[in-house]
């Protein structure tokens, strides 16, 4: 039987740096005339200024972990 002898750890650890694509803050706002609309939801716990990440059926605060379900199934997903 093929016994796996010698633990070969696949440690070809090429650390691939994942570049976090810096979201432009301006993309989160929509300026119409004098008023500014926030596109994303803000966290009720962290207060305004802390935007929540959009997911398929929920929005999640990356800071405190607050999750809020979104009933509407229509969530625009940004395709990059
Ligand atoms: Zn939060």
DSSP string, 3-70: ---S------------------GGGGEEEETTEEEESS-B-TTT-TT-BEEE-SSEEEETTT--EEE-
pLDDT at position 22, please?
A: 67
Taking a 5 Å cut-off on Cβ, the residues next to ion ligand 1 are 43, 45-46, 61, 63-64, 66
How remote is the CA of residue 18 from the centroid of ligand 1, in Å? 24
Q: Is 62 domain-assigned?
A: yes
* Structural domain boundaries, residue 52: 41-75
How remote is the CA of residue 58 from the centroid of ligand 1, in Å? 14
Q: Is 7 domain-assigned?
A: no
pLDDT at position 57, please?
A: 86
What does pTM read for this prediction?
0.44
In the predicted structure, residue 65 carries a pLDDT above the cut 90: yes
Q: Is 31 domain-assigned?
A: no
Q: Is 32 domain-assigned?
A: no
How remote is the CA of residue 10 from the centroid of ligand 1, in Å? 38
């Amino acid at each position: 039987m093929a016994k796996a002898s010698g633990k070969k750890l696949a440690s070809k650890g090429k650390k691939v740096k994942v570049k976090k694509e810096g979201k432009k803050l301006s993309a989160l706002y929509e300026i119409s005339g004098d008023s500014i609309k926030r596109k994303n939801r803000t966290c009720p716990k962290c207060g305004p200024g802390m935007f929540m990440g959009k997911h398929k059926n929920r929005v999640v605060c990356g800071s405190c972990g607050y999750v809020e379900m979104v009933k509407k199934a229509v969530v625009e997903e940004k395709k990059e």
